Structure 1
Amino acid sequence: MGAGNYAAEGQWGIWNPFILLIGWLASRSANIVVFSTILKITLLCILAAGTFLLARSYKARPEWAAIAGVAVTLTGFTVYMDAASWVTGLMVFSLLPLTWCGLRRMAFQNGNPFFALVPAYLLITIGYVHGTLMLVMVVLGLLLEAWLQGSRRSALRLLSAGLVCGLIAMAVYLPGVLTAPVTARTGGISNSGFLTTDLTGLFTAWVPGSLPQVTGWWGGFATVPLLYVAWFLPVVSIVDYSKVKAASRELSALWFVGLLSLALTLAPSDLGPLRFPVRIMPYVSLAVLLTLSVMVSRFRVHVLSRGRRVVTAGIVMSGLYLAWSQYPSFRVAALFGLLAVGGIAGLLAILYARQRPRFKGPVVLAGGVLLVSMMITAGQHMAFKASPLPDYRMPDTPESYARQLPGAQGGTFIVGDPTKLGPEIWNETLASNAWYLNSAEVQNLYSPIMFARYAEDLCISSHGWTCGAAAVKLFETDATTGKVLADLLSIDTVQLLRDPAAPSNESIDRAPPGGWHENSRSADSVVWVRDQPLLNTGQLVWTSEGTALSLVSESNQEIVISVDQMGEAPAKAVLSRLAWPGYNADGATLTAPLRGYLLEVDIPADSVGKTVTVRFEPPGWPVVVSSILLAVGVSLAWSIAELVSYRRRKCNTLTVHTADRST
């Protein structure tokens, strides 16, 4: 009950064939860990390839484009957060460079829009809003680039692509926007300092061992190099900025995306529904690495003067000092400081030392930079072995998720937090969306939005675990209906988990209430099952006095009820469904939800012998479907038209050449 509004939640990728394929393959894989590892490596390869192509589109030399492509996969946030756990973040990030490259090629080189709109479609329909937000910035940056270069045709093509992307985004996010008033994700602008960054941490982004001041679940300072970008960033000092200025129009999109992503990274912790600004750090890294690869490729000075050496040394020394001051460990500072300084010295030697030509080629340069990068990455994994995010050590095979709660009946509710217990608890219970692999009808699923009043009433978190007080709340009598809350929620099975902080196991050492019995017990949990299960999830759970209603039919989206008996006054009925925006009723009227979250309807007085139909449709659904169909249709038509036009131009060119040769 707590989750399942997939259109409003957005991140289920219900319009995304790539997500559907991943889900299908994952459910059939022999080992989930192996499958997820292969998937993440594949996404990192897509990220590297897209970054390489994008850098080349800005005329970066092949070796520096390759360096940027590999380096962007080794940045701190990507390695320790997105690739480790936040896979939707990794998905959208891996697709952004490809989309950016496709849009730029379409706008400035008359490329087919297919290669821009397909990755854009996949990126947006993943439903991770930060990726969509960055795509908007890319489109705006490219429009700025087209305007500065005076290319009206490029601007029109970009606007057309932007409109298509806007239609896709509307389909993905409109239900969530219209559902927002009842969720826990609304709010204003505030700053708790949680997962925010500062300029000191960003200045040390080239130091591999820097542990910046980023407050998170781990405390006040990151336990891993979370803001690390690349060790060779100090070579920014070898760029001839007078030449950069002359090419600023061509590079304006890079500046635009880089500056705006930096601004968002430094933003307050809460910008309405947007949280955790450090999640934008991968895009800052991408912009920095792209800019550096392009500038060093195209605008590097030919002679390294004493002044530039001093500037480089100043950047290195100040960065090392600030990194050490944040985490004053001499061993870590010395190890990574020597690796980075040695790498920078070697890189400058390859670029500027008087050597034989064979020791200064692009292969040597790229190989040397990537070798140092791999050594640093290996050192990071030795010094900082794991992600700062919790490792729940859940089972690694799909079959391992089918044995929990074998005696569960009907709607099931889990009281407690399984993550506070050892990994053995996964033999008895599960957490969050792992319940989708189990046959039990568990309400404690993961929801990124949460129905606020439901979550408050049962003190349930977005991940599905609850406080111990939920065990008492479930069996309280509702003042309005006179029924027990567990009855109103259609709960037939309750599992209580041991709270390690509670004395004498009191969280599970209690007798079941009347009408329930103890089904199983272990050292960490106890399971209660109703003596006579209701088995009525989503159905009628209460009617006003003197009213008799019967079920005609029921599905996830619709329930049909027959009115068999009622008094002269209008009647009320409550269903065990969350009152999400999007419900409507025929033959009755929706009224204020019971307890602020349970669906309630008013039935007119003259309704005996009639039926009441209550159905759910995500708010704005006709607009959503129309938007997605229009976006796909326009994309296909545009792509085919461009292909036909290209083939005609090619045929005409060949005809002219043939005629010239004949003449």
Structure 2
Amino acid sequence: MTAAVTEVRDESTDEPAESPAGSQAASRRRWLPPAAMLLVTFIGSLLPLIRKPGFYFWDDTAGVAVGVWQRIAQDVLSGQSPFLQTDMWRGGDFIAEAATGMWNPVMLGLMIGTYPIDDVGAAITVAKILLFLLTAGGVYVLARSFGATPWLSAIAGATLSLSGWAIFMDGSSWVNGTAITAFTPWAWWALRRAYKRGFDAWSIVLAAVLCYLAPSTGNPYGVLTLAIVFLAVAVEAIVDRRPSAIGWLVSIGVGVVLTVVIVYLPFVYTSAYGFRANSGMWNDEFLSISLSDLMGLSSPTHRPYITMFGGTPMGFPGTYLGWFVLPLLPWLHWRGARMWARLAGPLVFGAVFLLFTLGPSQFGMFRWPARLVPFLYLAVILVFAVVASRGLRTDRRWVRSAVSAGIILLGAWIAWADVPGAWKWHALATAAVFAGTAVLVFWAKLGGRGFATITAGLLVFLGAQLTLTPSNRNVADYEMPSSRSALAEQFADRSDGLTVQVFDIHALVRHHPAPERWDDLLAGNMPSVAGFESTTAYSGIGFTAFDSALCLTYNGGTCAGAWDALWEEPSGYDVPLADLLNARYVVVLNDYADVEDTPPGWTETESTSVVTIFERDEAPGGATGTISFAGDDVDIASAQRSGKTDESVEVTTGSGDTRLTFARIAWPGHSATFDGEDLPVEIGPAGLLSVELPENASGTLSISFAPPGLLMGAAAAGIGVLILAACAVVGARRRARRSASPTGRL
């Protein structure tokens, strides 16, 4: 970083000087393309809601994200830590889940900002639309930095935001995917800006902040994309013969990585206790992409035959990018060494993600390569925007028209081959693509009229896609109610104890229509939205001992045998598991579990067409906090909880059985002290927290929770900030010396 470096700027983005008289008009012209882009993106993001108001309240969004977002916002607004939610059981270790977004300031702001909206489906919809707009803005500024014209940059931003995977998969189901797609172009733009400005102080600070956003979502794909962004800028520096920039990039990269250690370290310490403990490498072609699938990126009706959940083929245009991209390739100016040198970064970025997209279905922590399509397409649309900014060729029109027609027909053939039954739609779309391409080439070109033509096509084709596929049926539509206040009122009678739900989501949906299926139970993390404690929770990690005891699935459903497991006595205990859980209610899906008799101490209080509800005759716990079992030689004088995670117990013990078992999962990070002396915390039956007290003692047992690795992560973040601050200081001094030098060089 000490070698002489001349400040380098991207001449392609420099604007000509404007006279005072024309500055106002120039300002309007400058803002018109991005404003038009945001308007198109906004309109496009609303189209799915016409036929399906719950389009964005779908699958994992409804099952996991909404519950997590609501709880984090609630805790932050009330001044509490959101790290551990004991009442959400297997889904409550937010700090270990990592992918909650709690460390990301934009995601946290969206959680808090949308929390006042009572309809949680509408709230998450607002957040997703804002992320679509953020994606468009990021692609716009990134394309401009590479020299694309304002209108082509606006086309690029709207296109990626409204592409098939962005809308139908990430948009409807995986909000973290939408977020990473939104943050990646901003990180790339900021890092490249720092490089082009010679790493001055403010550009380093901006790059550090924006580069932090993608990995801080907690999704490992954010780490991957950021790493490839740094690689892309490094390649650009090598091509520009600025090797000293590599030192800056490494320093900034190390600093950013250290700041996000705190996001992932608790997961590392906890993963061994859940179902993410072993991540290997294999290929079963699940959500795997082929080259022929990518060749349909400009075919609006192409629904590629890609294996998805349930073994069914993809039923939506998941590899569609934009109708105009491939047909216009024969009309572009492809020659120019300087242009290709400038595009070295996007080419490397795209090549890496092409390899990942065509790779195995499981690669360590990374699975389902189709998830990476948006990042491959980010590179594609960037290269297209930059090359197309040189205008369209007008020579050899017949040859170019023939090649363009061949590309369109090939795309139509690929679309028809995968779904031959929709031949009428394929024919209509093909004719429309022919017409749109002709309008672009022979009349509109690629300025403002071209933007209007292309984006009108984007919206029309998106409307047609939504007519064919109103929603993503490859994933689950829970159709759960979304009014937080109505849910709280509906389940108000469950607020005084734990509810164990014995059901399978597929059996429930198959046999019972909405909304009656949700009158007495809720799936995923929605019990937390309704305000009642439940073992039902959607988790990306789970807790194996607890999951195995009740044969819980990732989304909180159970096997039918969970009913019998509740009434069995774990080894070494003389009470059933239901007592160890401090269960107050058990809700069983009818005709699912083999329920013959009402267990002793319980009463069947209600039976509907969907479920049968059992209630304990006497409320468990009482004044004993979460204690569910005490050994014969333990006398509990009092017990109370402190905050959401800690509790203390005044006890006296004898010389026999001095165990205490708590109705809470023994997540790593729990600790116990007895009158200030450390006691080992054990994993008891079903993964419950258990402590062996000293014999013949009297004192206070304190249970507390501190996320594992939190201090180490905080220390790493501190070091990362110091490294970044040092980079900024050095950058400021170098810039000052350069400014003072008569030659403008160091």
What is the letter of the counterpart of residue 124 of structure 2?
S
Residue 176 of structure 2: aligned partner: 88
Please, what is the CA RMSD of the aligned residues?
A: 3.0
- Residues 52 and 66, structure 1, Cα contact 8 Å, conserved in 2: yes
Alignment partner of 1:11 is 2:99: yes
Partner of 1:406 in structure 2?
A: 492
Return closer, same or farther for 1:37/1:612 CA change in 2, 3 Å cut-off.
closer
Deviations 1:507-566 (A, max 9, x none): 6x6543111123333221222221111137973333445344555543443343445122
- Counterpart in the other structure of 1:533: 619
CA distance in 1, matches of 2:114, 2:527: 15
Q: Which amino acid aligns with 1:620?
A: G
TM-score, normalised by the number of residues in structure 2: 0.79
Q: Secondary structure at the match of 1:519?
A: strand
* Alpha-carbon distance between aligned partners in 2 of 1:528 and 1:441, rounded to the nearest angstrom: 16
Contact 2:606 2:612 in 1 (8 A): yes
- Partner SS, residue 150 of structure 1: coil
Cα gap change, 1:300 to 1:453, in 2 (>3 Å): farther
Label 1:114 to 1:588 Cα distance change in 2 as closer, same or farther (>3 A): closer
The answer on 1:132 being equivalent to 2:223 is yes
1:562-601 to structure 2, matched below 5 A, reads 562-567=650-655, 571-586=658-673, 587=677, 589-590=679-680, 593-595=683-685, 597-601=687-691
> Compared with structure 1, are the counterparts of its residues 39 and 616 closer, same or farther at alpha carbon in structure 2 (3 Å cutoff)?
closer
Q: Following the alignment from structure 1 to structure 2, what is the Cα–Cα distance between the partners of residues 229 and 319? A: 12
Query: Which one of 667, 692, 698 corresponds to residue 609 of structure 1?
Result: 698
1:341 aligns with 2:430: no
Q: Secondary structure at the match of 2:546?
A: helix
State the distance in 1 between where 2:128 and 2:90 align.
Answer: 29
Q: Any conservation in 1 of the 2:216–2:222 contact (CA below 8 Å)? A: no
> 2: CA distance between counterparts of 1:391 and 1:438?
19
Deviation at 1:603, TM superposition (A): 3.8
Partner in structure 1 of residue 377 of structure 2: 285
- Where does residue 8 of structure 2 map in the other structure? none
* Paired residues of 1:492 and 1:535 also in contact (CA < 8 A): no
The reply to whether residue 436 of structure 1 matches residue 521 of structure 2 is no
2:476 equivalent in structure 1: 390
8 Å CA contact retained: 2:621, 2:628: no
Query: CA 1:554/1:307 → structure 2, altered by over 3 Å: closer, same or farther?
Result: same
Residue 91 to residue 601, structure 1, CA distance change in 2 (3 Å): same
- Structural mapping, 1:109-124, within 5 Å: 109-110=197-198, 112-124=203-215
Structure 2 contact 638–650 (Cα < 8 Å) conserved = yes
SS at match of 2:663: strand
1:106 aligned to 2:194?
yes
Letter matched to residue 623 of structure 1: M
Q: Contact 1:412–1:441 at 8 Å: present in 2 too?
A: yes
**Quick one: which amino acid aligns to residue 461 of structure 2?**
I
> Following superposition of structure 1 onto structure 2, how do residues 169-568 of structure 1 map, counting pairs within 5 Å?
169-186=260-277, 187-217=279-309, 219-234=311-326, 235-243=328-336, 245-298=337-390, 301=393, 303-304=395-396, 308-328=400-420, 329-350=422-443, 360=445, 362-388=447-473, 389-408=475-494, 409-417=496-504, 419-420=508-509, 421-424=512-515, 425-499=517-591, 502=592, 510-535=596-621, 539-548=626-635, 552-555=639-642, 556-567=644-655
Query: In 2, are the aligned partners of 1:92 and 1:131 still within 8 Å (CA)?
Result: yes
How many angstroms does 1:312 deviate by?
3.1
* Separation in 2, partners of 1:279, 1:462: 20
Task: Output one character per residue of 1:165-219: Cα deviation in whole Å (capped at 9) or x when no partner.
Answer: 2022211111111211111123211223322222221111211101101111364
Structure-2 separation of matches of 1:33 and 1:124: 26
Q: Secondary structure at the match of 2:316?
A: coil
Letter of the 2:395 counterpart: V
Please say if 1:165 is aligned against 2:252.
no
TM-fit CA distance, 1:94: 1.1
CA distance in structure 2 between the partners assigned to 1:638 and 1:520 by the alignment: 66
Q: Secondary structure at the match of 2:90?
A: coil
Corresponding letter in the other structure for 1:529: E
Question: 1:156 corresponds to which residue?
Answer: 247
Separation of aligned partners in 2, 1:588 and 1:530: 35
Whole-Å Cα distance in 2 between the matches of residues 72 and 314 of structure 1?
A: 24
Change (3 A) 1:312 1:535: same
Which amino acid in 1 is paired with 2:498?
A: G
Residue identity opposite 2:163 in structure 1: T
Counterpart contact for 1:411–1:493, Cα < 8 Å: yes
Alignment identity in percent?
Answer: 27
Shift in Å at residue 56 of structure 1? 0.9
Q: Which amino acid aligns with 1:601?
A: V
Matched residue, 1:48 = 136
1:76 corresponds to 2:168: no
TM-aligned CA deviation for residue 306 of structure 1: 5.5
Matched to 1:175, the amino acid is: P
**Displacement of 1:400:** 1.8
Distance 2:502 2:312 in 1: 30
Change (3 A) 1:551 1:145: farther
- Secondary structure of 1:535's aligned partner: coil
- The residue matched to 2:542 in structure 1 has which SS? coil
Q: Secondary structure at the match of 1:178?
A: helix
Residue 112 of structure 2 is matched in structure 1 by: 24
CA distance in 2, matches of 1:577, 1:550: 21
CA distance in 1, matches of 2:654, 2:700: 13
Contact 1:557 1:617 in 2 (8 A): no
**C-alpha contact (below 8 Å) 2:164/2:317 kept by paired residues:** yes
Consecutive unaligned residues of structure 2, counting only runs of 5 or more, are 1-88
Quote the Cα distance in structure 2 between the aligned partners of 1:404 and 1:494: 17
Q: CA separation in 1, counterparts of 2:424 and 2:399?
A: 31
Which has the higher mean CA deviation after the structures are superposed, 488-497 or 18-27? 18-27
Q: Residue type of the partner of 2:330?
A: S
Q: Kindly tell me the number of residue pairs found equivalent between the two proteins.
A: 638
Q: Contact (CA 8 Å) 1:588, 1:603: kept in 2 or not? A: no
- Cα offsets for 1:84-129 (capped at 9, x unmatched): 2212211221121111111110111246233323333333322222
**Kept in 1: contact 2:208–2:724 (CA 8 A):** yes
Work out which structure has the larger RCO, using CA pairs closer than 8 Å and 6 or more positions apart in sequence. 2
Matched, 1:65 2:153: yes
1:493 positional shift: 1.6
Distance in 2, Cα, partners of 1:318 & 1:470: 53
Could you tell me how far 1:574 is from its partner in structure 2?
Answer: 2.8
CA distance 1:14–1:540, change in 2 (3 Å): same
- Checking the alignment, whether the CA contact within 8 Å between 1:563 and 1:612 is kept in structure 2 is yes
Q: Who is 1:356 aligned against?
A: none
Alpha-carbon offset, residue 402 of structure 1: 0.5
Contact 2:653 2:693 in 1 (8 A): no
Q: Is the 8 A contact 2:114 2:126 kept in 1?
A: no
Contact 2:587 2:611 in 1 (8 A): yes
Distance 1:528-1:342 versus aligned 2 partners, 3 A rule: same
CA contact (8 A) 2:151 2:446 kept: no
Q: Single out whichever of 572-581 and 432-441 deviates more from structure 2.
A: 572-581
Offset at residue 256 of structure 1 (A): 1.8
Residues in 1 aligned to 2:289 and 2:446: alpha-carbon distance in whole angstroms: 38
